[in-house]
Every structure is written in C-alpha cells, then in structure tokens.
Copies of this chain bind each other. A is one copy, B any other.
C-alpha cells in the first residue's frame, strides 16, 4: 500500500470489466483472456485494478466456498503481478451495472436478513475470510472491499430491499471488515457504498460508517445521480462532483489523515454527450488535484461491455477506456494524460495550498441537503467556485 501520508503519489487504476463475457468470465475462467486484458490495461499507465468475483459463483451454497473460484481469483492476482499491477479484490457482488447477483440461499424461499440473520452473517463472513486468505499471500494485493456498493441492497430505492437499521449495518460492517482482516491482516480492509449513503436520509448505511469503519474512506462518484441532469454536462458542479464527495466524506472522519479513495468514477453517456466526455474526464481529475490524502482514482471501467450482451442500461456499454475489441479509446488517453498532470502538480506541492473552510452542522443539515441541489451542496459549490474547494468541518468537531 502506498503511504497515505505521502500525499504526492496518488494511485491510478481501473475497475476491471473483462472484455470477453464481462463478469460472467468467472464461469469460463480463461487466463489467456485475462492476460491480454491486463496487457492493454497496463498500457494505460495504471498501477492497479479492482476486480469483482461474482458472489453466487464463489459461494453457491451457504457452506460451499468453491476452491476453484478462489484459485481463479489468485490467478488474476498473479497475472496482474506479472504486469506490475496491484489488485483490489471485492467480495460481495452483489450489485454490478444494474444486475443483482445474489445466491439462491438468500432469495425467494430462503429469503432472510442479508444484514441481520445470524447464519447469513456468519456464512458471509466465512466467505470474506476465505477470499481474503486466498489473496493474503500475494504481494500485489492492494486491499479488499466487503463488496461493491453493498448498500444497494437496502434502503427505499431497491425494488426488494433487505431491511436493516443503522445499528444493524454498523454491526454488519464490523463483522465483515473483521472477516476480511481475519483472512488478510496486513491488507487494507474497506467497504464501498453508492452515494445514497451521503445523500439519502432513508439509507441505513451512514456517512459516519463510511468515514470511520475500515482502513480508508471510499467514495463512488456518478454524475447520473441528478448532478448532470440538474446542472448540465459541462457545469462546474458536474466536474466537481467527485471532489465534493471527498470533502464531504472527510468531514465525517474522526481521523483527519485517513486516506480517501475515489474508487469509482466514470463518464456516463446518458448525461454526458460525446463532446462533453473528454472535458469531464480532464476536469474531474483536475478538481481532485489538491485533495488532501487522496489515496487514488480508479476509473470505471477498463473495457466496454460487449454489445452482444443484453439488458444493460444503455449508458453501461460505453463506460470503458478500452473498446470491446481491445483497443484503447480516446477516453483512455485523456485520462492517462490527466493523471500524469495530477501527479506532476502534486509533486510540485499543489496540495499544500491554503483553502477556504465550510462548517457542516449535522444536527441542522439532513442528507438531502448534501445531495445535488441541496442547501449545503449549493453553499459548498458557491464557495468552491470562488475560492477553491473548501475544507468541510463538522460543527461538532469545532465545538469539541
């Protein structure tokens, strides 16, 4: 793991979406395909990939964790190491690009609390420990995430939510992060959420959990969340969204030096017409340049989803930096150059600049106020537009 106290070196990576078969490649694992994908990814100049074993494929029965599934994950780690790439491994997928992959032992006749049932918790933890243990011996293991946006499965937005209270979630995250650490004590243990955690008052995964549990704060930035619709594809707010999330997230940290990782950010065509994509990539990265303790930026995603696969929302097909034939797209070149500039500026001390500050009183501000168009959001953006991105401080912290 890069020393987060360094501040100059920001990790650059991609979320690895296999070119052949998308994440269904776990059913037909082919080392040659993965090797070829990673060769192209390495050409982008990245230092890491984030990977997504499918949960129901690796743990099809509650007490069956497939050794061959774990071995396939290890093969990806080795193939990545051969190319100088580190790997972050996510556990519970779970939710990916509109599809929910949930084992049969947690649906219909076997439906029970994803976040609350003691047997489910114990078995999910056992899976994460087994996965972490398989990865632990690999020197290029960058970290482990509980799962991709696990908060997708609860709250009021999901069509069939698994109920959970904030207290349930806190206990569950403790158990899951503990399970990762039990398997890989030396690797950063993380959890990831979609932005309902920050913006939706009905979401039981909370900002405090995201900002205090695990070894980093992880944010996923998607401007199709209303930002681009509200402000337009080239608006300051749209370009500043990822940075805004890092600042809001940091406000909830108790450790001010805890690293923040922009683990997912992408350029969705449903709200960013083609001419706006390259400027969005450049501006998003530029806005992140002076983010304090920025761990890394990991783009979603490596490869376009093949048009031969059905039912993805239209925007999901074009998010890649590499097309479905394996050729690096313009977006890949733009991002690589933007990251080079970001790193150069950080080495030159950009992160040390003076910044305005902004008070966030969580007793007076609801999560909807933090969301695109909300009262706090507007206040932040007007400060940022004038004097640069403010440091956000929780009112309680100031009083203390």
Is B310 a contact partner of A21 (Cβ separation < 8 A)? no
Which residues of B are found within 8 Å of A119, using beta-carbon distances?
Answer: 310
Nearest-neighbor residue (CB-CB) of A59 within chain B: B24
Which residues of B are found within 8 Å of A309, using beta-carbon distances?
Answer: 61, 63-64
Nearest-neighbor residue (CB-CB) of A112 within chain B: B311
Specify which of B64, B99, B104, B308 is in contact with A21 (CB 8 Å cutoff).
Answer: B64
Which residues of B are found within 8 Å of A158, using beta-carbon distances?
Answer: 108
Which residues of B are found within 8 Å of A69, using beta-carbon distances?
Answer: 27
Is A24 a contact partner of B61 (Cβ separation < 8 A)? yes
Is A66 a contact partner of B27 (Cβ separation < 8 A)? yes
Which residues of B are found within 8 Å of A160, using beta-carbon distances?
Answer: 108, 160
Complex interface bits, A82-103 against B, C-beta within 8 A gives 1, otherwise 0: 0000000000000000111110
User: Measured between C-beta atoms, what is the minimum distance from A123 to chain B in Å?
Assistant: 7
Is B62 a contact partner of A105 (Cβ separation < 8 A)? no
- Tell whether A101 pairs with B104 under 8 Å between CB atoms, given A63-B309, A309-B61, A310-B62: yes
Nearest-neighbor residue (CB-CB) of A21 within chain B: B64
Is B61 a contact partner of A22 (Cβ separation < 8 A)? yes
List A56-70 residues whose CB lies under 8 Å from chain B. 56-57, 60-64, 66, 68-69
Number of contacting residues on A, CB 8 A?
36
A28 within 8 A of B: yes
Is A310 a contact partner of B61 (Cβ separation < 8 A)? yes
- Tell whether A109 pairs with B104 under 8 Å between CB atoms, given A27-B57, A28-B66: no
Is A100 a contact partner of B105 (Cβ separation < 8 A)? no
A256 within 8 A of B: no
Which residues of B are found within 8 Å of A64, using beta-carbon distances?
Answer: 21, 24, 308-309
A110 within 8 A of B: yes
Supply 18 A–B pairs (Cβ within 8 Å), ascending by A. A24-B61, A24-B64, A27-B60, A27-B66, A28-B68, A61-B311, A62-B310, A62-B311, A63-B308, A63-B309, A63-B310, A64-B309, A99-B104, A99-B110, A100-B107, A105-B310, A108-B158, A160-B160
The 4 nearest A-B residue pairs measured at CB? A62-B310, A63-B310, A99-B104, A24-B60
